[in-house]
Structure 1
């Protein structure tokens, strides 16, 4: 007997049936022709594919695995067709039935592929929804931090929203992005909702950049949502600093006028600055005139700085700046009086001298000059500052002041009358040594052979305080005298210089 049945006559229909049954991935074609090893190989390959593919996730089956499995099925079909061409089928005996069975069983891999595709899409949807939820959590957590710290988290979340909207536009997650963007905007701009306007400026400026990276159809009305809020924040922040008189409010108003020049908030800038100037000018008559003057000076500088960066409001701002400058100059007189009354004589002198220089036509200019003289005298003789100098002049008592020094001197006096004058240097005079001033009988201005420069003034009775100092030597100590003047006497003041250890005094 032969070792195996003789080959069957070639049959293309049988070969096609075996090939189709092998394409199911179950090796059924090999089963019908009794090829057990290829059958096991087909089953093993399908099992490996199922282990790799299941459960379905967002990553899907690796492309290399699908290519290898597809090539394997094609080889199994070709090999099965070759075997089935001359090998009789175990079952079913009729070839058309086997062919029909192969066609029907192809529904198994096709249906499995369709089911897997659906499961994979659902897995992708779930993964996208998870990404959306993670971005939402990041936004929520960032909302509990200050904007500078949370900005990077906001940017990361925005990148996720953009990726979902642009690269997964048909997904359920992408459909929720517009709602998430509304939450995103309100979270970033939370400081505005709390009326913390200065803090709200930077977040709102950031939100104005979002349309540069996010499709506008995902934003809708949010595209211009930050504009009015930013304009309000810039105005309120600047107005708060202006009202407090602290900080630099110019950047906020400047940005408002540059960015939103036609807004209602921009129209409020000049009235706000005008009100601040009027308030400071009124405060000159209050308890702190010097503080009001400083504020007016600062306002003048700040308003001019603001007007340089604008065009629409420049004229109005320049007018307010000019008024602040004039109010500040006029207020220096009141400030100097307050400093004098508080005993700050050096500062009072400087303030009144500045007032005299800056306000040549002010009605208080002449008295300011006298107060400046009185303040300078009071720095040497503090008792001279007990009364504020007046505009009184003249008197019935003659006082002659002589200069017994080699320097030109300035004589200052205050009391019932305040004034000053200059005496020329005594050409034949020299500075006295400190030791000579201690000798018995020493008397300055007592040399009848010298022609001392002198000047006689008329003063009323009362205490007058004299100070004389060299006009061109700021290092020398000034001389001083307190004279109690009475009618019936003629008084003489003598200015002289003494030197000791390299220093001189008058």
Structure 2
């Protein structure tokens, strides 16, 4: 710039000196031609001056074009990021934002700089595309990015744009959170989305919708537990809801949390009952055993234990699973059944019929196995022939009816060495004895 200014001053000085000399010179061509000196001097001055102006204009246009090219590159980066997952789109968007901010602040008067506000509008529209497409979970991260630009981008250029993302972000958090309420594999989880909504936008219209939506989700599943074809599925969803509510901190959800806990308890019992009716005895045993342990004070805990026992027997003897054990202990007279253990190893004796239960007979320390068919040579096994005090015993008081029994004799550790099913008919007015013993198997 200094050289150009100095050169301009030099040209002016040369022109002035040329005019002075030309006007004073004595030429043989006559006075009329001398008058051309001044116009000629002006022309000679205009040529380099015009060239300088043309050069400056070309230089300015080249600079403007370079800035417009930068703007086009940034636009292309935004366009190429459209539709990509945000983690892949973010590096492209950051480069575009850096270009927009530089053009809009350092080159605000340029043609490119004056286009930046419109480009920012397009940027916000592109990045918030998932929200416009109603893919709410996908929209959360891009909307948080747009809202957070107020902390990292020139505020003068942004204006009110970040604030305009509050409503879409709150709406997306609500929709994403409520859609994930009963989905254990949802990412983000319902608690993450709804906690963020209640913490970031507590006064928004969407925050006030959270509690009613969660309550409706719980009610929808608890109300069908006794009628839905698969109560286990509804219970699994209720358990997910309960876990979600336990991860949420807003006090307004305390009431519905208690409803979810009660719903899971109802659902566990309904699920175990359904498994028994569907002859899925192994799962019914597990479900009802866990129910009795988890809810020992429940009015249905005793019934759950009965169903678990009956299911365990039915798993070995399907005829024992024709009907659920009764929920109430039958009244009327009872008959005595004394069971003795004439064998090594403790015995768990399970029974089901008009009444269901379980007793455990301690091991008989002095008892041994009886010979099997080969070594007994056809002789009848005479079990429980010793003194009555020798054998561990249990006395059952049973209403009349048909019973299925399952004996499980303890082996080593926690395993059983022998299981056996049997059927007993208990008739009124009689007392019964049953002796359990072990043969060698040979």
TM-score bucket of the superposed structures, by smaller chain: 0.7 to 0.9
Alignment partner, residue 264 of structure 1: 205
* Matching residue of 1:321: 257
Matches of 2:282 and 2:115 in 1, distance apart?
72
CA contact (8 A) 2:11 2:45 kept: no
Determine helix, strand or coil for the equivalent of 1:170. coil
Aligned match for 1:289, one of 207, 231, 237? 231
1:434–1:225 distance in 2 versus 1, CA, 3 Å: farther
TM-score (norm. length: structure 2): 0.83
User: How far did residue 135 of structure 1 move?
Assistant: 2.8
In the alignment, what sits opposite 1:419?
A: 357
Between 340-349 and 455-464, report the one with greater CA deviation: 455-464
Q: Deviations over 1:56-95 (max 9, x none)?
A: xxxxxxx899699899989x99xx9xxx9xx999999999
CA distance in 2, matches of 1:234, 1:249: 9
Structure 1 residue aligned with 2:344 = 406
Most deviating of 446-455 and 192-201: 446-455
Aligned pair 1:232/2:171, yes or no?
A: yes
Query: Taking structure 1 as the reference length, what is the TM-score of the superposition?
Result: 0.73
CA 324–407 in structure 1, closer or farther in 2 if over 3 Å, else same:
same
**8 Å contact kept, 1:92–1:98:** no
CA contact (8 A) 1:164 1:174 kept: yes
- Looking at structure 1, the residues matched to 254 and 245 of structure 2 have their Cα atoms a distance apart, in angstroms, of 7
Structure 2 regions of 5+ residues with no counterpart? none
Q: CA separation of 1:104/1:353 partners in 2, compared to 1, >3 Å: closer, same or farther?
A: same
**Other structure's SS at 1:343 match:** coil
Shift of the 319–229 alpha-carbon distance from structure 1 to 2, 3 Å rule, reads same
Give the match for residue 26 of structure 1: none
Change (3 A) 1:253 1:419: same
CA distance 1:474–1:124, change in 2 (3 Å)? same
Q: Is the 8 A contact 1:411 1:421 kept in 2?
A: yes
- In 1, Cα distance between equivalents of 2:297 and 2:213: 30
Partner of 1:135: 74
SS in 2 for 1:480: strand
Structure 1 CA distance for aligned equivalents of residues 111 and 28 of structure 2: 52
Match of 1:106 in 2: 45
Compute the RMSD of aligned alpha carbons. 3.8
User: Structure 1 residues 433, 473: closer, same or farther in 2, change over 3 A?
Assistant: farther
State the partner residue of 1:482: 423
Distance 1:487 1:319, change over 3 A: closer
Residue aligning to 2:241: 299
The whole-number CA distance in structure 1 between the counterparts of 2:131 and 2:404 is 64
Residues 266, 498 of structure 1: CA spacing in aligned structure 2 closer, same or farther, 3 A cutoff?
farther
Aligned match of 1:120: 59
Counterpart position of 1:354:
290
Partner of 2:117: 178
Identify the residue that residue 47 of structure 1 maps to in structure 2: none
3-state secondary structure, aligned to 2:144: helix
Contact 1:192–1:229 under 8 Å retained in 2: yes
From the CA coordinates, give the structure whose radius of gyration is larger.
1
Deviation at 1:389, TM superposition (A): 0.9
Once the two structures are superposed, what CA deviation does each residue of 1:179-200 show, in whole Å capped at 9, x if it has no partner? 1211111111111111111111
